[in-house]
Amino acid sequence: MILSKAAEEKMTRAKYPSLSAHSMAGAAAMMPHVGMNLEHNSKTWTIIKTLASGPFSEVFEAMDADTREHFAMKTEKEVGTIRPVLKLDVFVLRMLQSRNPIGFPRIYDAGRTDNFKYVVMQLVGPDLSKLRRSLPDKKFSLITALRVCAQTLDRIETLHDMGWLCRDIKAPNFAIGLGDEAGIVFMLDFGFARRFIDNNGNHVRPRAAAAILGTIHYAPIASHYGREQSRRDDLESWFYMCVELVAGPLPWSHLDSRRQHQLICECKQFARKGGRHQFLKDCPLEFSDILSMIDSLKYYDRPNYRLISAQIEKAIDRLKLDRYAPFDWQVDNGKILERAAVIGDLGESHLLSVKLREARKKLEATEPIDIST
């Protein structure tokens, strides 16, 4: 669920009527910011730059003052957050980290001050949405897209087998690694996750009604109708993401998620019927079979991830694609990565040229930070 800053602040005032605008502003001023040294838990973190920003939380690039290594730092306000999610995010990542799976960022530190909670984790590269929108045709080459689809499916299977649903599968919640891990796709952000296996190992029963969660453009049809989500629904959201990576923007991407969510639902339903050919016309033939597999699943079913993955492999073989080819972001001397680093969130890409010029000027005027010692 995405709220504008004004809307979320309005909800905060309603929930905390005694919280004055002055108090909210004061709390905001105490949040981490670029240039700040955060000293906590016997560690000193230097905030280098902002990676992502929201009304009540931010993600920064931070440097360990002792080792000069760079990490990501995610922060959340202690007061005024409508739906605190950082604690859940950390809990799920720590559970995953205990199994040491590939494609999930490692946590290095976590704590809280009087004003905010924070977690320090592995720094990763641009997310899939920014990478896709950095390409001229706003879509990946077919082999890159299919390999990314396979990797993201594997991450979802890992999460599901730990007993958790994501409930917010979308391209911005997957990012590529850095350096030697540039070919690995990492799964991020578990603030909407929900445990679907109880302590006895049984699948929990669906609630009579459930709130619409996640991002409407990727949300499963069940969510539009207020029904409980299951593993099937995570895969439905994953499928919309895959179509976007292969073919470009979804047919309903231009619709307003707040005012036209029912029309978005109708578009998804039409994509199963008369609009199926048009919806999948730029995708491999195997995508129609994958959609049928997902739609055939019932609430309690465990998806056959291997069979779905086999359909992706089948498409690669049938189309004679090179599954060992470099990814799109590895073959252009870093131009896609440069664009993705400044493109901004969805809807802000019109500022790309200006941001690129500013970033290059700043880079030319600044001595690089030595992190070798």
* Residues designated as active site: 168
Cα three-residue angle 102-104-107, rounded to 5 degrees: 120
Return d(Cα 358, Cα 184) in angstroms, integer.
29
Structure tokens at 25: 């502003």
φ, ψ (nearest 5 deg) of residue 287: -65, -30
64 by DSSP, 3-state: which?
strand
Closest to 111 (Cα-Cα) out of 40, 170, 173: 40
Length of the chain: 373
Structure tokens at 173: 């919640």
What letter would DSSP give residue 127?
B
- The secondary structure of the chain in percent helix, strand, coil, rounded to multiples of 5, reads 40, 15, 45
What letter would DSSP give residue 185?
E
Structure tokens at 117: 């909670």
CA distances from 264 to 72, 73, 280, 287 (A): 34, 34, 17, 20
Where b means 16+ CB within 10 Å and e means fewer, 244-254 reads bbbbbebbbee
Contact between 255 and 265 under an 8 Å Cβ cutoff? The reply is: no
Please give the radius of gyration of the chain, using alpha carbons only, rounded to the nearest integer: 21
* Strand extents, DSSP E, 101-245: 107-112, 116-121, 164-165, 174-176, 185-187, 194-195
